[in-house]
Amino acid sequence: MSLIRNRVLLVLGLVALAGVLALPILTNAPNRLLSGRPIGALDLAAPWGPVAIAAAGLLLAGAFVPSRRATLVVQLLAGIGIAIGLV
């Protein structure tokens, strides 16, 4: 019996978490002639950054538990928490 119950959720969660933590989503430049300073998603959502990380951890933990209605509701709420936390 495999420890991982939902491989797709695990891969998508890891890719999303790595993208949020590593890649900048904006650049801040004083004008168009100079290259800008990269700004990551967690820098934009300063007070809500830990909420987004905790929700992503909850999504990743969902890959290791059996799929039930309550589990799917928690995963849905975690996804909504990530979307609200990063917007």
Q: Which residues contact 13 (CB under 8 A, 6 or more apart)?
A: 56, 59, 60, 62, 63
Q: What CA–CA distance (Å, rounded) separates 5 from 66? A: 6
Would 70 be classed as within a structural domain?
yes
- Per-residue pLDDT tens listing for the chain (87 residues): 588 888 888 888 888 788 777 888 888 888 888 888 998 877 877 777 777 778 888 888 888 988 899 988 988 888 887 777 666
Two tokens, residue 73: 């509701």
Would 32 be classed as within a structural domain?
yes
Would 55 be classed as within a structural domain?
yes
Would 1 be classed as within a structural domain?
no
Residue 28 contacts residue 37 (beta carbons within 8 Å): yes
- By residue range, what is the domain housing residue 24? 7-86
Would 76 be classed as within a structural domain?
yes
Would 2 be classed as within a structural domain?
no
**What is the DSSP secondary structure assignment for residue 27, as one 8-state letter?**
E
Number of domains in the chain: 1
Q: What CA–CA distance (Å, rounded) separates 87 from 42? A: 10
